[in-house]
Amino acid sequence: METHVEVPQQPAPVLRHIGPALYEIDTGFRADMRVPARIVADEELLRQMSRDRSLIQLVNVTTLPGIHGFAIGMPDMHEGYGFPVGGVAGTLLPDGVISPGGIGFDINCGVRLLTTGLLHEEVKGLLPALAHELARSIPTGYGRHGRLALSPDELDRVLDEGVPYLVRGLGLGSEEDLSFIEAGGHLPGADAAQVTVRARERGHDQLGTLGGGNHFIELQRVERIDDAALASTLGLFEGQLTLLIHTGSRGLGHQVCTDYVRQMDRALAREGIRLVDRQLACAPFSSQEGREYYAAMCAAANFAWSNRQVLTHRVREVFRRMLGPRAEAWPRVLYDVAHNIAKVETYGGRQLCVHRKGATRAFGPGSPELPAAYRDIGQPVFIPGSMGTASFVLVGRSQSADISFSSACHGAGRQLSRAAAKRQVVGAELRKELQARGIHVECPSNAELAEEAPSAYKDVDRVVDAVATAGIAWKVARLVPLAVLKG
């Protein structure tokens, strides 16, 4: 469970408009700031951010040892554990710090978009049955276990090798899948030996499970194409049936974060690090704690990509049973991106540890890390809204490197806490409202449904417009929900 540290009341920061949809809090705001804090937003989004501690948390991030350039908040930014959700920061290697709070408890929570060659109209009558069959085949909710129980040796291989082991060792997918997953579904810095016994116990049978909270699988329709040429390269067309998977590393990743927050907290005095908020617990990347956490984080990231791969396999099984062996009914991976992760990347000739917490990588055209099929257009970026609103596909622009360390937002962003949403929303009534709008819901708990009500989130169209206006990414397509599967 996350705990929050009480900090003294601080004056509201002064924001300076420095570019389209881009604001800055300069280092004069507080004496301990090492770099400025930037925010991608419009005036309404800034007002929403001012209602919680996210702006002050972003300022706190600027005090971390080794931070380089600026800390930046995305337009979906809201208060989190230490770092705000929607926060990005790069620290200069080798001795800049790495902070588990800057990645989050759900390591490599991320989004995978699957596309089909089907028009929504072709299968409209089957959608409730299709959603129900997905719900029967995929475990949802907290603490649920999957059908794929791994031996200790198999779990080690998943942690060390990621999705390539599932594809080549267990036959769960194809080589084509690997081409369209960030990092090929495998971070080479992983070391299963740095993942504790408790973390392994929590994760050994959770591959292929969705989890609870804001995790979901959503059947969608491409409602609008914003850029025909980009959409064509990505294989998107109007009226298309697609499916979005949003989940992460489950209990294993949560335990990795918990374990290393404690270790780094104990190491602060030895490293001479003083923090304005203990939730920013960190260690130099080059230290023993830093190296071990990075290796464990990479392993948890490999586990999360593997989780989404097993879920993809289950989806394909359902589609094959329900829609037959037609090629156009086979869900293919458009792309898979992490939005809670730290990556070693180079900017301005300097190697940085880039923390993205609730933020998506958004490389522009030409990056060698992108699939060959997308290298000329930039990296696909997925921004889900809520189960009653739209999701967006964008592609990164080259100038995002200078604006935001090649980062975009990861969703609409909460404007109500889960507790506040449950006080304001009756889950049973929300279910009826969504059904009346033609959105089929598979969620056993009305309380869980209320926590994730559309009213709990910011306006996703406004959030996406801020990303596009700032020059971080191009809009490609707008997708709307048809059926939602939640824990």
CA neighbours closer than 13 Å in the CB half-sphere of residue 167: 20
* Helix pair angle (163-170, 288-323), 10° resolution: 50
Distance, CA of 31 to CA of 29 (rounded, Å): 7
**CA distances, 245 to each of 251, 321, 392 (Å):** 18, 19, 14
- Report yes or no: 99 and 309 within 8 Å, Cβ to Cβ: no
The angle formed by the CA atoms of residues 469, 459 and 212, to the nearest 5 degrees, is 120
Q: Residue written as tokens 């495998």?
A: 186
Burial of 420 (0-12, 13-18, 19+ CB in 10 A): middle
Return the structure tokens found at 176: 């084509």
Distance, CA of 445 to CA of 212 (rounded, Å): 10
- Report yes or no: 329 and 383 within 8 Å, Cβ to Cβ: no
410 is catalytic: yes
The region, left, alpha or beta by phi > 0 then psi within -120 to 50, assigned to residue 239 is left
Candidates 204, 313, 410, 440; catalytic one: 410
How many beta carbons lie within 10 A of that of residue 372, not counting itself? Answer: 8
Q: Give the 3-state secondary structure of residue 218.
A: strand
Q: Give the 3-state secondary structure of residue 112.
A: strand
- Report yes or no: 245 and 308 within 8 Å, Cβ to Cβ: yes
Sign of the dihedral defined by the CA atoms of residues 457, 460, 462, 465, in that order: positive
Q: What is the DSSP letter of 395?
A: E
- Report yes or no: 73 and 409 within 8 Å, Cβ to Cβ: no
How many beta carbons lie within 10 A of that of residue 441, not counting itself? Answer: 21
The region, left, alpha or beta by phi > 0 then psi within -120 to 50, assigned to residue 149 is beta
Return the structure tokens found at 298: 């990479």
Cis peptide before 94 (omega within 30 of 0): yes
b/e per residue 165-203 (b: at least 16 CB within 10 A): bbbeebebbeeebbebbbbbbbbebbbbebbeeebbebb
Comparing CA positions, the residue from 340, 478, 468 lying closest to residue 397 is 468
Maximum CA extent, the chain: 64
Distance, CA of 296 to CA of 375 (rounded, Å): 30
Which residue numbers are catalytic? Answer: 410
